[in-house]
Amino acid sequence: MTSTGIRLHAPAPGWSIDADVVVVGSGVAGLTAALRCEAAGLTTVVVTKARLDDGSTRWAQGGIAAALGEGDTPEQHLDDTLVAGAGLCDEEAVRILVTEGPDAVRRLIATGAQFDESTDGGLELTREGGHHRRRIAHAGGDATGAEISRALVEAVRASGRGEREALSAEGGGGRRAGMRIIENALVLDLLTDAEGRTAGVTLHVMGEGQHDGVGAVHAPAVVLATGGMGQVFSATTNPAVSTGDGVALALRAGAEVSDLEFVQFHPTVLFLGPDAEGQQPLVSEAVRGEGAHLVDGDGVRFMLGQHELAELAPRDIVAKGIMRRMREQDAEHMYLDARHFGAEMWERRFPTILAACRAHGIDPVTGLVPVAPAAHYASGGVRTDSHGRTTVPGLYACGEVACTGVHGANRLASNSLLEGLVYAERIAADIARTGLRARVPQPLPTAERPAHPLLPPEARLAIQRIMTRGAGVLRSEASLAEAADRLHRLHADARDALDENGKTAEPGVDTWEATNLLCVARVLVAAARRREETRGCHWREDRPERDDTAWRRHIVVRLNPDRSLAVRTTDTTDFPPTLTQAQEQ
């Protein structure tokens, strides 16, 4: 592993905390990892960008998939996942997911999560796209993520304490058993020791009433669970905090990322107009699972005949079907027809979606729901092995920020919450098994001028529009080349201003987020240009066929010290090991 030496321009840390493990993120993956690490006796710090319950998990409507129903088996779940992944899933990673998944869900229930039950007292299981069986457990009808988040947040708060209390009790340093919680904190960069191993993170705590909120958590193990990067596009289902911070941090630390071109666009996002930007309301796949139909403006069910599962085909197929029909009819959206559900079913099964629709003047009980694809989930991310280890010793990743190999070229519906659970537990077990040695971080260089340029806050909107236009659902060499050129100009202008006169945007949350977004956007476009085929949720108009001979491979990217990208293609579908035997010691 070679460190890039690149860090975000930020003030020097003014305080520090020591711990065994720092978990960055508070979704299902982060909180599960934190709880399991604490249960193993590890002093654990949870750092989250907003409040504990403000991540993507709380927005998950559909549910969590696991072979929990009568007649269902992990093998059947594995088969559905492999089909959805379009030839790029790591079969062993998927087997781990589906085999360990049912017990992981039961442990989640034991933690306090309350799922909807059928009349006989068992779990009420539903079906979603790509699944041949009812295996989706849900809560509150369509509020599964909110319930899971509630249960995990309560468990963490019961065992944790706030950052102010921790600093007050210890004078800003030292160690003490238990879990510490630092909310409203943006993690900046990874700290490493003289051998390049993880030694903690730097972070900026917001709203502390101080000009300098930058501090450090010193820890020999760091778990990235920062979620997705949906804010790289104009319209997304992701919350505003999903700015790719974990992927950008990992790249600056020298870690490899893989398959970032596979961004899943959810087929049915409530259409709020052609100029709508930011987080958009999701219309869960479970609505189609319960029998809603996709229709065009003439009322024709256009998915019939396109796939054996019609509206319940894997998400990439449904998104492409919608986009094709939109292009054929020069339409801005299609429609979801669930009028036959009736008011009682809408109110009982999908109260959140019903309220969102009505808030925008749409009543799905009596009318059609306008829908169009929007950025939803990153199937790729920071490359890990089956224990969540990245290519940087001591740095782990799980959840949407990670690329475990489970999702391949297209995530199967409701596998994301399960992946967060299963691989977070495996990470905690590996950290506990390995044993931790405190590491002294290398001193942060005090440069006369910033080493890495920051973008102004307004660059965020420019990046989103570039990506939506050039690297959205439909891509081509021409559109990707234009996006790459425009992103490079943003990067080069900031770099040249820094190199020529030492000027860069002022450090702050807005500028750090914009800089992170540019980093992940450049990687995504580079990977999408390299993959000259259509596969899963990567749709190249100029390369419409899937090419297993040339492209049943993974694309791996890392950041060079000069800020350029090193892009390579693996020789086979198998990932090389993340760490050497010497690094594992």
Q: Write out the catalytic residue numbers.
A: 315
Report the distance separating Cα 475 and Cα 543, nearest Å: 9
Q: What is the 3-state secondary structure (H, E, C) of 344-372?
A: HHHHHHCHHHHHHHHHCCCCCCCCCEEEE
Q: Tokens 């993520």 map to which residue?
A: 145
Dihedral angle at the C-alpha atoms of 427, 429, 432, 437, nearest 10 degrees?
-30
Q: How far is CA 161 from CA 168, 180, 234, 307, 364, in A?
A: 11, 5, 36, 51, 43
DSSP string, 450-470: -SS----TTHHHHHHHHHHHH
Q: How far is CA 269 from the centre of its chain?
A: 18
**Hunting for tokens 């000009």 — which residue is that?**
211
d(C-alpha 60, C-alpha 67), whole Å? 19
Q: Which residue is associated with the tokens 């224990």?
A: 387
Cα separation of 211 and 471, whole Å?
Answer: 38
Contact call for residues 225 and 398 (beta carbons, < 8 A): yes
Determine whether 382 is exposed, middle or buried from the number of CB atoms within 10 Å of its CB (0-12, 13-18, 19+).
buried
Q: Quote the CA–CA distance of 322 and 300 in Å, as a whole number.
A: 12
Q: Which long-range contacts (CB under 8 A, 24 or more apart) does 565-571 make?
A: 565/522, 565/523, 565/526, 567/526, 567/527, 567/530, 569/530
